[in-house]
Amino acid sequence: MELLEKLKILGSAAKYDVCATTANRSDNRKRPWGKLPSSGICHSFTPDGRCISLFKVLMTNECVSDCAYCPNRFDQNIQRVSFTPEELSKLFMQFYERNYVSGLFLSSGIAINRQRTLEKMLKAIEILRYQHKFKGYIHLKVLPGASQEYIEKAVELSDRLSINAEVPNNEYLHKLSELKDFNNDIVEPMKLIDNLSQKKNYITQSTQFIVGAAGEKDKEILATTNQLYKDVGLRRAYFSAFQPIKGTPLAKNNSSSVKREHRLYQADFLLRKYDFNFNDLIFEENGQLSENIDPKLAIALNKADKFPLEINKASYHELLEVPGIGPVSAKRIIRGRKKFSIKTLNQLKNIGAVTKRAAPFITINGKKVGDIDNLLANKEYKQLSLF
Ligand code: SF4
């Protein structure tokens, strides 16, 4: 088969692996990262914040595994193709030399067994690094259950490594696959990656959850994510709303909403960037985040007696608790206050705060500029606050 024909199949099959915060199904041209045309090129962010084009592809769509949501699982009637390491590296270099891409995102099904497939993936990367002297960004999806030998090599050759957690614990994992063990195949290799990459501070580790595939709750997903941030030095978690795929055992299940995925990203952002604790997050009685109230507003309303805060006196951490004020605007407020006092909402808006959201939670020089009671009377919040 022609290489480009293989690329069409294996590039398209890679769309289920997430390497950026937007869903692949997004059609928004202003935010192209995460999207994957059939050519296998998508946009993503490197750990230092640059947006780059990635050659995103599977080594093979053959797979001996049984993940219930996956179109590549062993019993699917699809055309199976594989790259050799030489083919993959050659194709990548052709794209790279034409400036179509500047990095590689390599994932794979499991052909024959995990170690053999990983060996081929690593061989392809070795060819890029050593024969073609490619020094750019490489994100390698490590297959669950990878051995120490292969993880060592992966750490040596890559910039970002990820192992898909998919679900929050073993109980849910067993609903999706009889062949994977959460601790042995996912958490232990993550720990190994963390240990081995301690000395190489440019290596980052991420993971992905398929939201709603096994009936798990947002609270469980975020508790595990939070734990992984602490235990294995995870840098990012990606959330992908479950979509049923024809022919798979979950084909008749309902899809998860993109709104749910979005709320998980918002809550995760609070844990990673806003110094919130997991215990600050507010969940509904059924363990889900509210789809109607964003997680930061829900937390603020739950601590309503703390507000309003005086914008000219609040500390950095207090400012971060105000809806509409993020880390960037909080820093600007603190810096600006050394030279002038904030007198109007407009001034705050120019600093970068979303004043419509912040107003009920602040005073400016002792004067109220919004009404928190209106928000507390909100029906959606009242329901949420019961729990
Ligand atoms: S390991 Fe599971 S998710 Fe990955 S390709 Fe195989 S069946 Fe699909």
pLDDT number for residue 305 = 93
- Atom of ligand 1 minimally distant from the CA of 108: 5
Both 263 and 304 in a single domain? Answer: no
Both 74 and 207 in a single domain? Answer: yes
pLDDT number for residue 357 = 93
- Atom of ligand 1 minimally distant from the CA of 16: 3
pLDDT tens for each residue of 297-308: 999 999 999 999
pLDDT tens for each residue of 28-83: 434 444 444 445 667 666 656 667 788 999 999 999 999 999 999 999 999 999 99
pLDDT number for residue 34 = 42
Residue 289 counted as domain residue: no
User: Which residue has its alpha carbon closest to ligand 1 atom 7?
Assistant: 73
Distance 365 CA to ligand 1 centre (A): 58
pLDDT-based confidence at residue 13 (cuts at 50, 70, 90):
confident
Both 212 and 349 in a single domain? Answer: no
pLDDT tens for each residue of 149-162: 999 999 999 999 99
Both 359 and 259 in a single domain? Answer: no
Q: Are 321 and 306 in contact (CB under 8 A)?
A: yes
- Given a cut of 50, is residue 113 above it in pLDDT? yes
> Collapsing DSSP states into helix, strand and coil, what is residue 56?
strand
Both 159 and 217 in a single domain? Answer: yes
Distance 108 CA to ligand 1 centre (A): 8
- Ligand 1 shell residues, CB under 6 Å: 63, 65, 67, 70, 72-73, 109-110
Average pLDDT rounded to a whole number, residues 215-236: 96
Q: Are 283 and 289 in contact (CB under 8 A)?
A: yes
- Given a cut of 90, is residue 261 above it in pLDDT? yes
- Given a cut of 90, is residue 22 above it in pLDDT? no
pLDDT tens for each residue of 293-337: 999 999 999 999 999 999 999 999 999 999 999 999 999 999 999
Residue 325 counted as domain residue: yes
- Atom of ligand 1 minimally distant from the CA of 73: 7
Both 20 and 52 in a single domain? Answer: yes
- Whichever domain contains 322, its CATH number is 1.10.150.320
Residue 307 counted as domain residue: yes
Mutating to test ligand 1, I would choose from 70, 167, 174 the residue with most ligand atoms within 8 A of its C-beta, which is: 70
Residues with Cβ within 8 Å of residue 10, at least 6 apart in sequence: 40, 57, 58, 59, 60, 61, 81, 83
Distance 156 CA to ligand 1 centre (A): 25
Please say which residue of 221, 249, 280 terminates a domain.
Answer: 280
- Atom of ligand 1 minimally distant from the CA of 166: 3
Both 344 and 271 in a single domain? Answer: no
Both 44 and 74 in a single domain? Answer: yes
Residue 15 counted as domain residue: yes
Share of the chain above pLDDT 90, in %: 76
- Given a cut of 60, is residue 346 above it in pLDDT? yes
Distance 312 CA to ligand 1 centre (A): 53
- Given a cut of 60, is residue 209 above it in pLDDT? yes
pLDDT tens for each residue of 81-108: 999 999 999 999 999 999 889 999 999 9
- Given a cut of 90, is residue 377 above it in pLDDT? no
| Confidence (pTM) | 0.88
Residue 386 counted as domain residue: no
Cis peptide before 308 (omega within 30 of 0): yes
Average pLDDT rounded to a whole number, residues 109-126: 95
Both 121 and 162 in a single domain? Answer: yes
- Atom of ligand 1 minimally distant from the CA of 143: 1
Please say which residue of 250, 280, 310 terminates a domain.
Answer: 280
pLDDT number for residue 378 = 73
pLDDT number for residue 282 = 95
Distance 114 CA to ligand 1 centre (A): 11
pLDDT number for residue 121 = 97
Distance 73 CA to ligand 1 centre (A): 6
Instruction: Tokens for 269, please give them.
Output: 């952002």
Give the span between the Cα atoms of 322 and 361, in whole angstroms. 6
> Collapsing DSSP states into helix, strand and coil, what is residue 32?
coil
H helices within the chain, ranges in order?
3-13, 85-97, 114-126, 148-157, 170-176, 188-197, 218-231, 258-273, 295-302, 316-320, 327-337, 345-351, 355-358, 372-376, 379-385
User: Which residue has its alpha carbon closest to ligand 1 atom 4?
Assistant: 109
Residue 384 counted as domain residue: no
Q: Are 264 and 218 in contact (CB under 8 A)?
A: yes
- Given a cut of 50, is residue 25 above it in pLDDT? no
User: Which residue has its alpha carbon closest to ligand 1 atom 2?
Assistant: 67
**For residue 133, what are the domain limits?**
3-280
Distance 325 CA to ligand 1 centre (A): 41
Give the span between the Cα atoms of 136 and 297, in whole angstroms. 40
pLDDT number for residue 21 = 46
- Whichever domain contains 188, its CATH number is 3.20.20.70
Distance 34 CA to ligand 1 centre (A): 20
Please say which residue of 239, 256, 280 terminates a domain.
Answer: 280
Distance 27 CA to ligand 1 centre (A): 26
> For the chain, what is the domain count?
2
Both 360 and 302 in a single domain? Answer: yes
- Atom of ligand 1 minimally distant from the CA of 71: 8
- Given a cut of 50, is residue 23 above it in pLDDT? no
- Atom of ligand 1 minimally distant from the CA of 58: 5
- Given a cut of 60, is residue 385 above it in pLDDT? no
Both 266 and 358 in a single domain? Answer: no
Both 49 and 104 in a single domain? Answer: yes
pLDDT-based confidence at residue 231 (cuts at 50, 70, 90):
very high
